[in-house]
């Protein structure tokens, strides 16, 4: 890979570092949460993507109630997306996910159910995964049409695990949208080292997140370590997926490896390579035209996958 970092993103990363927003992680969890929330509100800019309506609701889960925020599109297309926000399983909330949820709803004409899943370290794995699955069941019973699970970063990792649960226990999914997913608590892929210093997300950040989310004894659990699920040949029958990666992301290779493993198991997969981009680019469209375009391409790929009359194309068909 020889692409250079997008100049607009490079300038934005320099500004974020100079203004004290980076690193994402902090010594104390409460401080990291405040920083991430404030940063998310800065990143989304002043223009709010319009939708027809927004309201909060409560999902009754097996061991906890889960708050969700439902976005109704202006032009509905009988698609529901259950959205899991990023934030390393430790930070983030419905407000930090608001811009992404609005964008998904308006672009796809989808009802979006954004999930305020429980956070680590107070609620480590599998609590966030259980909340996501409960939200999927609730959305399936509440809304008609095609059902998608999706998310970015840690949320994409939860979405991938929830897709495994949905395959075995319902509800039936029509697609997955995995934007630069976090899938490997062993942090053993080459891009972790190659992009250890980011920009934006670093290997040190990921180590901080994983230590709080997954107890050491659970790091081979195939519902959180998707590489282990692939090794155990547990990926057949999953819903078709769009997997998007970023060139300068420490998580790049684990996303690519999981997409390849799903394809080998017969799962229809579309892979997008975000050349010149960094982790988190879906939320950086206000500072980078390239980031905005790549985020749009991911949503277009999902729309095409859902519209396909037969099995979706397999492998790296979108480059």
Is the residue at 99 inside a domain?
yes
Report yes or no on 298 lying in a domain: yes
How many structural domains comprise the chain?
A: 1
Q: Can you say whether the dihedral through the CA atoms of 210, 138, 152, 286 is positive or negative? A: negative
Q: Tally Cβ neighbours within 10 Å of residue 31.
A: 12
Give catalytic residues, as residue numbers: 153, 249, 279
Does residue 76 form part of some domain?
yes
Query: Over the chain, what is the mean pLDDT?
Result: 94
Q: What is the pLDDT of residues 32-63, one digit of tens each?
A: 999 999 998 887 766 789 999 999 999 999 99
Report the pLDDT averaged over residues 164-173.
97
- Confirm whether 314 is domain-assigned: no
Tell me if 296 is assigned to some domain: yes
pLDDT in tens, 224-233: 999 899 988 8
pTM reported for the whole predicted model: 0.95
Domain assignment present for 316 = no
- List pLDDT tens digits, range 254-312: 999 999 999 999 999 999 999 999 999 999 999 999 999 999 999 999 999 999 865 44
Range of the domain at 248: 7-307
40 phi/psi in degrees, rounded to 5: -60, -40
317 found inside a domain? no
Residue 315 lies in a domain: no
Cα distance between residue 131 and residue 153, in whole Å: 17
Give burial (CB, 10 Å; 0-12/13-18/19+) of 213: buried
The CATH code of the domain that includes 160 is 3.40.50.1820
Question: pLDDT tens, 63-75?
Answer: 999 999 999 999 9
> What is d(CA 166, CA 80) in angstroms, rounded to the nearest whole number?
15
């Amino acid at each position: 890979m020889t692409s250079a970092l997008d100049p607009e993103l490079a300038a934005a990363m320099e500004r974020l570092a100079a203004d004290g927003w980076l690193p994402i992680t902090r010594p104390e969890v409460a401080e990291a949460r405040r920083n991430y929330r404030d940063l998310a509100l800065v990143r989304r800019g002043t223009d709010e993507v319009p939708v027809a309506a927004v309201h909060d609701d409560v999902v009754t889960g097996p061991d906890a109630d889960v708050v969700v925020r439902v976005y109704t599109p202006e032009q509905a297309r009988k698609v529901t997306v259950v959205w899991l926000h990023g934030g390393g399983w430790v930070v983030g909330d419905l407000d930090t996910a608001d811009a992404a949820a609005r964008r998904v709803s308006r672009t796809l004409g989808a009802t979006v159910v954004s999930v305020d899943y429980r956070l680590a370290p107070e609620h480590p794995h599998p609590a966030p995964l259980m909340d996501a699955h409960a939200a999927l069941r609730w959305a399936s019973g509440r809304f008609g049409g095609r059902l998608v699970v999706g998310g970015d970063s840690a949320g994409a990792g939860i979405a991938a695990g929830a897709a495994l649960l949905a395959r075995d226990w319902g509800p039936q999914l029509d697609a997955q949208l995995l934007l630069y997913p976090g899938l490997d608590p062993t942090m053993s892929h080459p891009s972790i080292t190659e992009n250890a210093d980011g920009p934006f997300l670093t290997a040190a950040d990921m180590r901080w997140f994983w230590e709080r989310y997954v107890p050491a004894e659970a790091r081979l659990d195939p519902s959180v370590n998707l590489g282990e699920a692939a090794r155990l040949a547990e990926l057949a029958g999953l819903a078709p997926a769009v997997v998007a990666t970023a060139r300068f992301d420490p998580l790049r290779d684990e996303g690519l490896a999981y997409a390849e493993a799903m394809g080998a198991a017969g799962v229809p997969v579309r892979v997008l390579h975000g050349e010149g981009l960094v982790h988190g680019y879906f939320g950086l469209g206000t500072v980078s035209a390239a980031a905005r375009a790549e985020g749009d391409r991911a949503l277009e790929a999902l729309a095409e996958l859902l519209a396909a009359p037969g099995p979706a194309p397999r492998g790296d068909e979108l480059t």
